[in-house]
Structure formats: structure tokens, C-alpha cells
A and B are shown apart, each in its own frame.
Chain A
């Protein structure tokens, strides 16, 4: 039972991270379309932000693996 709950929790965390990274990607594409000359800088910042959002989801996933 706790295993199922942990799996559900991991799923919820991934939904949150998915929305967050989706937003980052959409806004970055927007910004690149507006200012193509800043594409390089925007891209590396996009990856940095995506990595930070991902970190929160990963903590949840790891916790859900270890909670038995």
C-alpha cells in the first residue's frame, strides 16, 4: 500500500516538474523568437532553470524509491 502511495507521489511530482519545464521551454522559445541574437545565452539559462526544476522532482522520485 505504501508502495502504491509512493508511486502516486512520484507521479504527482513529475507532473509538477513537467508543467514547470514546459513553461521554461515555451518562454525560452518565445524569447529566442523575439531576440534571435541572444539565443545562445537564453539556451544555457533555459537548461540551467530546467535542471533546477528537475532537481525538486528528482528528490521526490528518490524518496519514493526508498520509502517502503
Chain B
């Protein structure tokens, strides 16, 4: 009991130290942002590029929601600690400028992942590369003053870079979400090795190394009892085969077993590495809609390509029901074909993201109670609440990491199983 209390106290004091540093950064950021209302007046009689400065200080309150979204989003530099960042390669393509390839350390990453320099018309804003689309901005390496943020009329954040007293609007990277999340096709494409891509590569390498060791073990000890990492992986592998693949896929399960295993271990690896709050973890990969969409798309393609005659007949002309019901049923079944991978994508994304957001909100209690660093007593109270709550949430997330990998796998198996079933005894 005393040991547990002692380790709690140590964790708590550590978190206070770490987040005091973090808070300092936040205030810095707060002074950089300024009100949109004030600017709207200037906008009326001047064009987009107007004179402005960085000294319009505004005391903004600590925004837990914005902090949470900043921490779960992807970045072009990997935050190690303090102001130390691991630079990642930036591969950027703008149709009017061509390809730019450089390391993100060229931005001279400073406070909160914001670059002090602009390279090729690109700047680094909170770890994210953005581009100045106006042609009169210098295309070489130049020192920038700061980056301003303000809420637009559409409810999304807009950014401007200040260079030699002039403001230049910033473009976000091109996304193909059709404006659903405030994205769209802009003036450049970001094909960089980002934090998420880096984490995925790390998981590829880890899984390859792990399974190669297991495979070698089976070669060496053929017919003998498993040993070492082999005996750790075998029950998991056998569990997925016996509880997921065979019951759902029937006798032809072997064809789909590699797919199910890959998807299970890949998602599990990404979930677990995302639980580590520092390098090389902390990449929120399975909490990224693009990643889960791709994974769900794989299941959709495998299901659709392997669908047998019975599967398509059940979608387009359900046997054994009156004709007027078929008219209603067919559109529902066709919709269902697409809703299945859609829920697959949303389930994994929402579970992982929600877990991460809750942890960050619990940690934010320190700043909310401490009135953003003004009150030590409040911060201590917030810290005393945040540590046990965060520990509790992290253990829940560990459970969720396994459950969601398993659920993705078992649902993929059931969708594929429904598609490859040859005949039905019951209707």
C-alpha cells in the first residue's frame, strides 16, 4: 500500500513539473492569437495582405478542448520533450511551385512546434506544415515574426503568418474529406513522412521482427513445445484462428487467415504504441479517420471481391419474401453494404480518440483548477485529482486497445463470412 502511495506521489510531482512547462508554452501561444472581430474592420477597406503585428496581446483562457485536439492531431515533427523535436522529412508538392523535399528541422522549430523560419513558402504551425499561397511571399528561407490564429465565420480556425509587418494568409494541406472536417483541395499536397506515418513504419518493423523470430522458432523446434516469444504469440494466434476465423469463415478459413491476423496485430500494435505518452509512442494513428478508413476499405474490398452468388442475391433480390417487401429491402441492403465498413471505420476511430481526449481533459484539470498557472494550491488539487483519474483511464484504454483490435477483426471476419457463405438452410 505504501509503495503504491509513494509511486502515486512521484507520478503526481512529475506531472506537475512536466505540465508547468507545457503551460508556459500555452500562454505564449495565447498571446499570439488575436480577436477576429478587431481584424474584420480592417479587412473591409484593405485587401488580404495588410499590415499587422504580433504584439496585440490578448489574455486568452486555457482552452482544454483546443489543447486536446492539438495533442491528438498528426504533426510534421516528433515532439520529444521540452523544445526538442525529432525532425521528420517533409515531402510537399504545390502545382505552381513544384516539389519541395527537406527535413522539418529547417523550420527551426521553437515554441509548441511552431517554426521560426519559412522554407519555400511553407511554415510550420503547431507541428503542422502550412503554405503561403500569395505569390509575393519570398520563396527562399526567411525568418518569420509569428503566426496568428483566429476563428473564421465558418467556425474553423484560420491562420496568418506575419513577415516584416505584413500578414499573409496560410493554406492548410489538401484533404479529400469534401469539406466535412473543414478541409478540401488547397494550393499544395502534403506527402510527408509525418508522425503517424513514422509510427506505422515503426510498428511494421516491430511486427516483422517479432513474427520472424516466431517463424524461426517453429522452424528450429519443429514438433517440439514452443519456447520464448513463441509461447507468448501462439495462444493469441490460436485464439484468433479458433474463436474468430473458423466459426465465421467455415472450412475455407485459411485463405482469409493472413488478412485477419495482419489486421489484428497491426491495429493492436498501433493501439498499444499510442498508449505510450512519450517518444516513440504518442502517435495517435488508429485515432485518425484516414487510417481507419483505409483499414475499413480493405475489409470492404475483400468482402466485395469474394462475394458469392448467394451474397449478391441477398442484397439485390432477397429470396423468400414477398415482392413488395423486396422493393423496400433492396435499397436498405445496398446501403448496409456501405454502412458496415463505415461503422468499422468510426468505431475504431471514436474509441481510440475518445480515450485520448478524456486523458488529456483529466490532465487539463491541473490548469483548470490552477486557473492556468496562477494558483499553486488549485494546481495541486487538480493534480491530485488528475493522477488517479488518468491512471484509471489509461488502464481502461489498455483494455480498449485489445477489445477494439479484436472487434475490428471479428467484424471483418463476420462480413467476409457472410459474403462467402455458399448456401443457407434457413431464410
Per the bound structure, the CA–CA distance linking A52 and B155 in Å amounts to 32
Contact with B along A7-48 (1 / 0, CB 8 A): 000000000000000000000000000000000110010011
Q: Which of B155, B243, B407 touches A68 (beta carbons < 8 Å)?
A: B155
- Interface hit among B301-309, B312-320, B342-350: B342-350
Question: Are A44 and B243 neighbours in the complex by a CB distance under 8 Å?
Answer: yes
Contacting residues, chain B, for A55 (C-beta < 8 A)? 343, 346-347
Interface of A is mostly: helix
Instruction: Judge if B410 is at the interface, Cβ distance under 8 Å.
Output: yes
Contacting residues, chain A, for B155 (C-beta < 8 A)? 68
Given A66-B180, A66-B181: A48 in contact with B347 (beta carbons within 8 A)? no
Q: Which of A40, A48, A62, A68 touches B410 (beta carbons < 8 Å)?
A: A48
Given A55-B346, A62-B346: A48 in contact with B243 (beta carbons within 8 A)? no
Measured CB to CB, the closest approach of chain B to A4, in angstroms, equals 14
Q: 21 pairs across A/B with beta carbons < 8 Å? A: A40-B243, A44-B243, A47-B403, A47-B407, A48-B411, A51-B407, A51-B411, A52-B343, A52-B411, A54-B347, A55-B343, A55-B346, A55-B347, A56-B343, A58-B347, A58-B350, A59-B343, A59-B346, A61-B350, A62-B350, A68-B155
Per the bound structure, the CA–CA distance linking A59 and B343 in Å amounts to 7
Q: Which residues of B contact A (CB under 8 A)?
A: 155, 180-181, 243-244, 247, 342-343, 346-347, 350, 403, 406-407, 410-411, 414
Q: Which residues of A contact B (CB under 8 A)?
A: 40-41, 44, 47-48, 51-52, 54-56, 58-59, 61-62, 66, 68
Per the bound structure, the CA–CA distance linking A44 and B407 in Å amounts to 9
Nearest residue (CB) in B for A59 is B346
Interface of B is mostly: helix
Contacting residues, chain B, for A68 (C-beta < 8 A)? 155
Contacting residues, chain B, for A52 (C-beta < 8 A)? 343, 411
Per the bound structure, the CA–CA distance linking A48 and B413 in Å amounts to 11
Among A41, A52, A61, chain B packs the most CB atoms within 10 A around the CB of: A52
Contacting residues, chain B, for A66 (C-beta < 8 A)? 180-181
Contacting residues, chain B, for A59 (C-beta < 8 A)? 342-343, 346
Among A58, A59, A66, chain B packs the most CB atoms within 10 A around the CB of: A58
CB-CB nearest 8 A-B residue pairs: A55-B343, A51-B407, A58-B350, A68-B155, A58-B346, A44-B243, A55-B347, A48-B410
Per the bound structure, the CA–CA distance linking A62 and B403 in Å amounts to 20
Question: Are B350 and A48 neighbours in the complex by a CB distance under 8 Å?
Answer: no
Measured CB to CB, the closest approach of chain A to B338, in angstroms, equals 12
Among A51, A52, A56, A59, chain B packs the most CB atoms within 10 A around the CB of: A51
Measured CB to CB, the closest approach of chain B to A42, in angstroms, equals 12
Contacting residues, chain B, for A58 (C-beta < 8 A)? 343, 346-347, 350
Per the bound structure, the CA–CA distance linking A51 and B244 in Å amounts to 15
Among B243, B244, B407, B410, chain A packs the most CB atoms within 10 A around the CB of: B407
Per the bound structure, the CA–CA distance linking A40 and B410 in Å amounts to 14
Per the bound structure, the CA–CA distance linking A58 and B348 in Å amounts to 10
Measured CB to CB, the closest approach of chain B to A53, in angstroms, equals 11
Contacting residues, chain B, for A54 (C-beta < 8 A)? 347
Question: Are A51 and B181 neighbours in the complex by a CB distance under 8 Å?
Answer: no
Given A48-B414, A54-B347, 11 other A-B residues pairs in contact with their CB atoms under 8 A = A44-B244, A44-B410, A48-B407, A52-B411, A58-B346, A58-B347, A59-B342, A61-B350, A62-B350, A66-B181, A68-B155
Among B181, B243, B342, B350, chain A packs the most CB atoms within 10 A around the CB of: B350
Per the bound structure, the CA–CA distance linking A54 and B181 in Å amounts to 22
Per the bound structure, the CA–CA distance linking A52 and B243 in Å amounts to 18
Per the bound structure, the CA–CA distance linking A58 and B244 in Å amounts to 24
Per the bound structure, the CA–CA distance linking A48 and B406 in Å amounts to 9
Q: Which of A40, A41, A44, A51 touches B347 (beta carbons < 8 Å)?
A: A51
Nearest residue (CB) in B for A44 is B243
Contacting residues, chain B, for A51 (C-beta < 8 A)? 347, 407, 410-411
Contacting residues, chain B, for A62 (C-beta < 8 A)? 346, 350
Contacting residues, chain A, for B180 (C-beta < 8 A)? 66
Measured CB to CB, the closest approach of chain A to B172, in angstroms, equals 17
Contacting residues, chain B, for A40 (C-beta < 8 A)? 243
Measured CB to CB, the closest approach of chain B to A67, in angstroms, equals 11
Measured CB to CB, the closest approach of chain A to B291, in angstroms, equals 16
Contacting residues, chain A, for B406 (C-beta < 8 A)? 47
Per the bound structure, the CA–CA distance linking A62 and B181 in Å amounts to 11
Measured CB to CB, the closest approach of chain B to A17, in angstroms, equals 12
